[in-house]
Amino acid sequence: MEKKILVIDDEQPTLNMFRLLLAAYGYETLTAANGAEGVEAFERERPGIVLTDIKMPVMDGIEVLRRIKDIDPHAEVIVITGHGDMDLAIRALNLDATDFINKPVQRQALSEALSRAEERIAIAKSQAEELVVEETDEAAILRIQGSVTARSEPFLDRAMARARECGKPLIVLHFADNASTNGAGLSLLTRLLMDSRERGERVCIQGLSDNFRKVFEMVGISRLVEPCREPLGL
pLDDT digits (tens, 9 = 90+) for 18-54: 999 999 999 999 999 999 999 999 999 999 999 999 9
Which domains does the chain possess?
Answer: 3-127 (3.40.50.2300), 130-224 (3.30.750.24)
- The helix, strand and coil proportions of the chain, stated in percent and rounded to the nearest 5, come to 50, 20, 30
* pLDDT tens-digit readout, 166-186: 999 999 999 988 787 888 889
User: What is the distance between the alpha carbons of residues 191 and 208, in angstroms, rounded to a whole number?
Assistant: 19
Contacts of 189 (CB under 8 A, 6+ apart): 148, 173, 181, 221
Mean pLDDT on 204-222: 88
pLDDT above 90 covers a percentage of the chain that reads: 58
Mean pLDDT to the nearest integer, 130-150: 88
pLDDT at res. 1: 46
Residue 234 confidence class, pLDDT cut points 50, 70, 90: low
Mean of per-residue pLDDT scores for the chain: 89
Rounded Cα–Cα distance for residues 54 and 81 (Å) = 6
Given a contact cutoff of 8 angstroms between Cβ atoms, the answer to whether 207 and 179 are in contact is yes
Give the distance, in angstroms, between the CA of residue 67 and the centroid of all CA atoms in the same chain.
16
| Backbone torsion region of residue 107, taken as left when φ is above 0, otherwise alpha when ψ lies between -120 and 50, otherwise beta | alpha
